[in-house]
């Protein structure tokens, strides 16, 4: 995928009737289906059964099996509840009659209320002063590990600019935090809130486990550790636009027992909090 249009096409599922939907997959450099893609496609499936006056406010998902990139994914939506203010949906994703993923999602009608949010670090380095993944590949590609070079060479509809770039040739232990600016590639058009939420869900699975590695990065990395997303939760707060850079700030409060936990916030460039995310992932050191 090269741009936003291709990403939207990937996430928009085919309606097979009776609340069944199907979609295809595109690799991001992994031999298995990207978790963010399954998350976003499941949200798309659920939204196809939701009235227009309700918007997604939270989702909770479990990744059960690795997805096969070569065959379609089938999504079955169950209408769990349709209340006066909230609607709840359960989405089951399967391949070859095997369940690979489950999602519970809640949708809320628009209401007014009081508000607050966590503070935004206005002193953080701005994206214009940082290198993107494409820049890193161009400048340092000849010196990067083969697996990292391949991962960075995959065409994506999103541009990422990490605030801190670790040196893979001199790994060191780092604080359990990560800050990454991102923006969409290609023409954004006038996206409705539902589509923007699906895209943000897709993006939220990028970079989130990195902080769980950081305190042990001198010895452990994606090359010598088996990793997989185990679960993923997300809460949506305010409307937003993809017309500028956005910031994903993530921290990991714990890693233990071959699992790591990360939690993050997504802000607009002017500091508006639009979503929060948590994920636990498998971090299993490979035996030598």
**Among all chains, which residue has been given the structure tokens 């494409």?**
134
The CATH number linked to 70 is 2.40.160.210
d(CA 277, CA 207) in angstroms, rounded, equals 12
In total, how many domains does the chain have? 1
* Domain-embedded: residue 136: yes
Per-residue model confidence (pLDDT) at position 142: 84
Per-residue model confidence (pLDDT) at position 263: 98
* Domain-embedded: residue 117: no
Q: Give the residue from 262, 266, 244 showing the smallest Cα distance to 252.
A: 262
* Domain-embedded: residue 180: yes
* Three-state secondary structure readout of the chain: CCCHHHHHHHHCCEEEECCEEEECCCCCCCCCCCHHHHHHHHHHHHHCCCCCCEEEEEEEEEECCCCCCCCCEEEEEEEEEECCCEEEEEEEEEECCEEEEEEEEEEEECCCCCCCCCCCCCCCCCHHHCCCHHHHHHHHHHHCCHHHHHHHHCCCCEEEEECCCCCCCCCCCCCCEEEEEEEECCCCCCCCHHHHHHHHHHHHCCCCCHHHHHHHCCCCCCCCEEEEEEEEEEEECCCCCCCCCEEEEEEEEEEECCEEEEEEEEEECCCCEEEEEEEEEEEEECCC
Phi, psi at 51, each rounded to 5°? -60, 155
* Domain-embedded: residue 116: no
* Domain-embedded: residue 47: yes
Please return the burial class of 2, using the count of CB atoms within 10 Å of its CB with bins 0-12, 13-18 and 19+: exposed
* Domain-embedded: residue 184: yes
| Tokens of residue 168, six digits | 């893979």
* Domain-embedded: residue 90: yes
**Among all chains, which residue has been given the structure tokens 């989702």?**
59
* Domain-embedded: residue 118: no
CA dihedral 206, 25, 148, 150 (to 10 degrees): -150
**Are residues 58 and 201 in contact, defined by beta-carbon separation less than 8 angstroms?**
no
Show which residues are catalytic: 205, 229, 279
Query: For each of the chain's 288 residues, which pLDDT tens digit applies?
Result: 889 999 999 999 999 999 999 999 999 998 999 999 999 999 999 999 999 999 999 999 999 999 999 999 999 999 999 999 999 999 999 999 999 999 999 999 999 999 999 999 999 999 999 999 999 999 888 888 888 889 999 999 999 999 999 887 788 999 999 999 999 998 777 899 999 999 999 999 999 999 999 999 998 888 889 999 999 999 999 999 999 999 999 999 999 999 999 999 999 999 999 999 999 999 999 887
CA distances from 33 to 19, 68, 73, 103, 244 (A): 22, 6, 10, 16, 28
Domain that holds residue 240: 4-111+123-285
């Amino acid at each position: 995928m090269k741009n936003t249009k291709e990403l939207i096409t990937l996430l928009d599922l085919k309606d097979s009737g009776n609340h069944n939907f199907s979609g295809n997959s595109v690799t991001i450099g992994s031999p298995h289906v990207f978790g963010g893609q399954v998350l976003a496609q499941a949200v798309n499936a659920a939204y196809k059964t939701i009235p227009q006056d309700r918007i997604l406010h939270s989702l909770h998902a479990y990744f059960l099996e690795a997805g096969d990139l070569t065959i379609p994914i089938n999504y079955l939506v169950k209408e769990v509840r349709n209340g006066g203010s909230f609607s709840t949906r359960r989405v089951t994703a399967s391949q070859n009659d095997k369940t690979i993923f489950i999602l519970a999602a809640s949708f809320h009608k628009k209401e007014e209320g009081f508000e607050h949010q966590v503070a935004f670090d206005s002193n953080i380095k701005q994206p214009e002063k940082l290198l993107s993944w494409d820049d890193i590949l161009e400048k340092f590609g000849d010196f990067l590990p083969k697996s990292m070079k391949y991962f960075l060479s995959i065409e994506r509809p999103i541009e990422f600019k990490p605030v801190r770039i670790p040196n893979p040739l001199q790994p060191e232990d780092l604080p359990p935090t990560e800050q990454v600016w991102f923006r969409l590639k290609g023409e954004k058009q006038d996206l409705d809130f539902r589509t923007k939420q699906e895209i943000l869900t897709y993006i939220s699975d990028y970079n989130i486990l990195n902080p769980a590695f950081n305190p042990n990065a001198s010895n452990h990395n994606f090359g010598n550790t088996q990793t997989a997303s185990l679960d993923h939760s997300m809460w949506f707060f305010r409307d937003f636009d993809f017309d500028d850079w956005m910031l994903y700030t993530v921290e990991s409060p714990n890693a233990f027992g071959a699992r790591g936990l990360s939690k993050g916030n997504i802000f607009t460039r002017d500091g508006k909090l639009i979503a929060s995310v948590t994920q636990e992932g498998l971090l299993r050191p490979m035996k030598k």
